[in-house]
Amino acid sequence: MFYLIQVSVYTAAMLIIYALFLRNRGVHSFARYYLLLCAVLPFLLPFISLPQEFGVELQQAIGFRMVLPEIVVGSNLALKAAPILNWVMLVYLVVAGLLFLRQIINMAAILRLVSKNRKIKGDGYTLVTECGYGPGSFGSYIFFPFGEVNETILKHEEAHTRMHHTIDVVLVNFIQALAWPNLFIQIIKTELKQVHEFQADASVVIDRDDYARLLLGSVFNVPSIPIMHLFIIHPIKRRIMMLQKKNQGSPARPIMQVSLSMMLLVGAAMAVQSCSKHVPGDATNTTGKTLSEKVPPASTNLNLVPVSEMKNLEKYPTYPDLGGFLMLEIKYPESARKNNIQGRVTVQFVVDSYGDVLYPRIVKSPDTVLSTEALRVLGKMNKWEPGVMKGKKVDVEMTLPILFKLDN
């Protein structure tokens, strides 16, 4: 679900760029492919990050220290969260399945429509007349509700088939079914179909005023199947407005504006992913090794990496599935629960060049009973993958915040 939230945020950002620089600007082909990019690229951005050396430098620039993500421990937190997450996932899958089924049913309906009605083979298209649907098109099929065929409308729908607009709509429909919580995909689909109409309108060679009158005179309710391209698609006002625009301006300007905006957006996304992916990570060797003598690192002979040199780390100390391990191992002390004791325990320790946890110490804690539990679990974390700098394994001081929180 967090992934879908990220996708929604990136989709919204790309649509803002579209609204600012491309909507109703006359660069229809570029707008079409940009909208398709809006539907696809946000799903990829969460997986893109800067190379590690840039990520480290970025974290250093914003004051990053070796602080692990905070772990929240509640008396019944995990037991309560699991059923809720299971229900959320079930609802998501059921809705996605129904939306996929709807798309398949719509396409099957069009195929039945084609098979049951009169067909006339044209140049690159098949005309289906007297079908009660349309005027509109899907794939290489052009539909007219009655036997009479308007040549201007036919040329318009032929442009849809020639430019393969149906592929765009089907693709976005299936993306919408897969990521239905992302409401911005509906906006993409609406705008994309409108741009398709702009492209098809522009391909019809006829007096603009006459064509506008044809659009206005054709506004009537006709049966349709949702995935069709209909000749009458609202809002009509935008189509007439685009027809009457005589000077669209230089197409290079909006294209340049969108390109620069997208570079900034992708760069920002990569920076965000770098700051999260290069945080010390996550392994579950729980041998119960006894911690070394609990003395502050400053009084030892360890060769600790200074904070100012963190940017030179080639690899952070990592402990696979750190969050999962701690959530399973940390037990809320019974005495702390009875006495309503809660709060954040901050532990500092050293991961040495062998991957051992040394010299743990409590920096801040609301109560010794919580401190004892934090140190107990820390003693079971063995072994880490040590940090690496200049090709050599090094000693790194780490900080781990643990929030003990009662359910009430």
What's residue 53's pLDDT? 47
Here the tokens at position 5 are 């939230």
Q: Which segment of 34-48, 141-155, 259-273 scores lowest on mean pLDDT? A: 259-273
Ranges of H-type helices in 45-183: 52-61, 77-116, 151-162, 165-178
The residue with greater pLDDT, 249 or 268, is 268
What pLDDT does residue 278 have? Answer: 41
Q: Is the pLDDT of residue 245 over 80?
A: no
Is residue 152 within 8 Å of 214, Cβ to Cβ? yes
Per-residue confidence band for 338, with pLDDT thresholds at 50, 70 and 90: confident
- pLDDT at site 282: 35
Mean pLDDT in residue range 333-359: 88
With CA atoms as reference, report the closest residue to 341 among 301, 385, 372: 372
The tens digit of pLDDT for each residue in 22-45 reads 888 888 999 999 999 999 999 998
- Reading the block at residue 308, the tokens are 């100012």
Q: CB-based contacts of 77: which residues, under 8 Å, 6+ apart? A: 405, 407
pLDDT reported for residue 83: 65
**Structure confidence at residue 273 (pLDDT):** 64
Q: Edge-to-edge, what's the strand order for the sheet holding 118-121?
A: 118-121, 126-129, 141-143, 136-138, 229-230
Tens digit of each residue's pLDDT (9 = 90 or more) over 82-122: 566 678 888 999 999 999 999 999 999 999 999 999 899 98
Measured between alpha carbons, how far is 401 from 396 in angstroms, rounded to an integer? 17
**For strand 396-404 and strand 71-73, is the pairing parallel, antiparallel, or unpaired?**
parallel
Task: Read off the amino acid at residue 320.
Answer: P
Between β-strands 392-394 and 387-389, what pairing exists: parallel, antiparallel or unpaired? antiparallel
Q: d(Cα 301, Cα 358) in Å, to the nearest integer? A: 12
Q: State the chain's mean pLDDT as an integer.
A: 78
Residue 377 corresponds to which tokens in the numbers above? 């679990």
Query: What does the pLDDT look like over 53-75, one tens digit per residue?
Result: 454 444 444 444 455 656 666 54
pLDDT band at residue 291 under the 50/70/90 scheme? very low
> Which CATH class, in words, describes the domain spanning 297-404?
alpha beta
Confidence of residue 287 (pLDDT cuts 50, 70, 90): very low
Say whether pLDDT at 80 is over 90.
no
The Cα–Cα gap between 128 and 137 comes to 9
Pick 362 or 63 by higher pLDDT: 362
Q: Determine contact, residues 379/353, Cβ cutoff 8 Å.
A: no
Whole-angstrom distance, CA of residue 96 vs CA of residue 88: 12
> Over 50: is that where the pLDDT of 236 sits?
yes
Q: Would you call 351 exposed, middle or buried from its count of C-beta atoms within 10 A (0-12, 13-18, 19+)?
A: buried
Do 356 and 385 meet the contact criterion of CB atoms below 8 Å apart? no
Please give the pLDDT value at position 45: 87
Average pLDDT over residues 342-349: 89
Residues 6+ apart with CB under 8 A from 247: none
Task: Sketch the domain layout of the chain as residue ranges.
Answer: 2-65+85-267, 297-404
Q: Which of 41, 43, 259, 34 is nearest to 168 (CA)?
A: 34
